[in-house]
């Protein structure tokens, strides 16, 4: 049994759905669970629609929901040529989005939006994605069983940041998913309380969903399929010389996530680590590339540079080299900036995490990232 999680950045285009079906077709010899995230910016648009409704801006909320409908209708149109199946898919998507429309109208009238109501609205994105993914896989001739994550993952009642209840979830998952030879399709992010109320588990918790399901099923692996080739030593948008980090230990991944590294989120590590399940982060558009493997084995210490932006200042953090090396590199970069730029720049270290952070004016951050990368990073053979 494997768990294959596909992110919204992959599923925002027809090509991404084609990549997903190709990957799952290649894995049909083994049972797997497919977990999907909301497409593209759907979750952000749903949150914005709820906020508009709360302010009484029903027209703006309706426009946002119409935009979501258009995106999903276009994706549905790219899935197969059977007109009957396509009509059924379009109807299913409309029914799902109508739930969000009704909830937003209620919020507009009452000018109240409880955390429970917001969770029901926010869950719409993953519901839409699950429906599309199931249809795409069926159209490709892959036998699947679609299951709502609300019937799998049980949480407490902290709406918006619900915490999974491990044992009830394990019982549910084993009861529903332990059918050999089956490909299951479900959604991330979404769960339910013991009484059946919809909950969501916080930012980027689709990866947590995948890790939870894998731990409950004693899966052999988890793959997080994205639109990039694994974890990079630096943001490729500002540092073209960055390269893929091939291996991280669980604890290194957890530390990197805590400093803002994209693709990894702390909550996804624990369930996998507890069961010793390796996590692979790879590009769905280049599935033969090894990507980044996260497991318990000793890793060659890589260099990691993460950037966290705000309006005026940016923190640039160097991870997993000795602090002595990091500080020497930072000093050389500061010297290259000159005294006029270097004055007032803060440098902090964390010995436990082997992290050195330099806080610089945001306009200087790209230069600092590239310079530190040049000083510290050499791709392993």
**pLDDT(343) > 70:** no
Contact indicator for 131, 144 with CB cutoff of 8 Å: no
In this structure, the number of other CB atoms found within 10 A of the CB of residue 80 comes to: 15
* Confidence (pLDDT) at 163: 96
Q: Do domains 2-227 and 304-376 have the same CATH topology?
A: no
**pLDDT(347) > 50:** yes
- Residue partners of 109: CB distance under 8 A and separation at least 6: none
- The residue with tokens 């914005």 is 48
* Confidence (pLDDT) at 28: 78
186, two tokens: 């479900």
* Confidence (pLDDT) at 380: 42
- Domain 2-227 carries which CATH code? 3.40.1160.10
Q: Where are the domains of the chain?
A: 2-227, 304-376
> What rounded mean pLDDT belongs to the chain?
91
Whether the predicted model's global pTM rises above the 0.75 cut:
yes
Q: Single out the residue of 372, 214, 212, 205 nearest to residue 305, CA to CA.
A: 372
Assigned superfamily of 304-376: ACT domain (3.30.70.260)
Q: What is the Cα–Cα distance from 68 to 176, expressed in whole angstroms?
A: 31
- The residue with tokens 């491990």 is 166
- The residue with tokens 């049980």 is 154
Query: How crowded is the C-beta side of 132, counted as CA atoms within 13 Å?
Result: 35
Coil, strand, or helix at residue 263?
A: coil
pLDDT tens, residue by residue, 144-180: 999 999 999 999 999 999 999 999 999 999 888 776 6
Coil, strand, or helix at residue 247?
A: strand
Give the best-scoring range by mean pLDDT among 164-173, 241-250, 365-374: 164-173
**pLDDT(205) > 50:** yes
Q: What is the Cα–Cα distance from 200 to 158, expressed in whole angstroms?
A: 9
Q: What is the Cα–Cα distance from 63 to 379, expressed in whole angstroms?
A: 47
Q: Which long-range contacts (CB under 8 A, 24 or more apart) does 354-357 make?
A: 354/319, 354/320, 354/321, 354/322, 354/323, 355/255, 355/259, 355/317, 355/318, 355/319, 356/317, 356/318, 356/323, 356/326, 356/327, 356/330, 357/259, 357/315, 357/316, 357/317, 357/318
| Confidence at 301, pLDDT banded by 50, 70, 90 | low
- Helix, strand, coil percentages in the chain from 3-state DSSP, rounded to 5: 45, 20, 35
Question: What is the phi/psi pair of residue 75, to 5°?
Answer: -65, -40
């Amino acid at each position: 049994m494997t768990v294959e999680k596909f992110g919204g950045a992959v599923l925002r285009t027809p090509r991404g759905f084609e990549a997903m079906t190709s990957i799952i077709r290649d894995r049909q010899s083994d049972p797997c669970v497919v977990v999907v995230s909301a497409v593209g910016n759907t979750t952000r648009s749903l949150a914005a629609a709820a906020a508009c409704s709360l302010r009484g801006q029903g027209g703006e909320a309706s426009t946002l929901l119409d935009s979501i409908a258009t995106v999903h209708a276009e994706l549905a149109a790219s899935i197969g040529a059977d007109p009957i199946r396509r009509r059924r898919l379009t109807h299913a998507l409309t029914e799902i989005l109508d739930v969000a429309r009704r909830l937003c109208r209620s919020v507009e009238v009452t000018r109240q939006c409880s955390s429970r109501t917001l969770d029901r609205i926010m869950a719409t994105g993953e519901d839409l994605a699950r429906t599309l993914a199931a249809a795409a896989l069926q159209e490709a001739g892959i036998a699947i069983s679609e299951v709502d994550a609300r019937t799998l993952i049980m949480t407490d009642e902290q709406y918006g940041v619900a915490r999974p209840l491990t044992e009830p979830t394990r019982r549910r998952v084993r009861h529903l998913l332990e059918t050999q030879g089956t490909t299951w399709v479900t959604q991330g992010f979404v769960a339910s309380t013991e009484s059946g109320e919809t909950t969501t588990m916080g930012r980027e918790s689709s990866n947590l969903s995948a890790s939870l399901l894998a731990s409950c099923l004693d899966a052999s692996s988890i793959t997080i399929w994205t639109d990039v080739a694994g974890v990079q030593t630096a943001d490729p948008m500002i540092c073209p010389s960055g390269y893929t980090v091939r291996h991280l230990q669980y604890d290194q991944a957890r530390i990197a996530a805590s400093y803002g590294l994209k693709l990894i989120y702390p909550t996804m590590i624990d369930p996998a680590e507890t069961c010793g399940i390796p996590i692979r982060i790879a590009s769905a558009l280049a599935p033969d590339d090894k990507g980044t493997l996260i497991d318990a084995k000793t890793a060659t210490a890589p260099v990691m540079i993460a950037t966290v932006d705000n309006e005026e200042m940016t923190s640039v953090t160097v991870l997993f080299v000795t602090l002595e090396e990091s500080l020497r590199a930072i000093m050389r970069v500061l010297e290259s900036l000159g005294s006029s730029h270097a004055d007032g720049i803060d440098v902090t270290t964390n010995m436990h995490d082997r992290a050195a952070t330099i806080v610089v004016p945001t306009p200087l951050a790209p230069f600092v990232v590239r310079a530190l990368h040049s000083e510290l990073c050499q791709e392993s053979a």
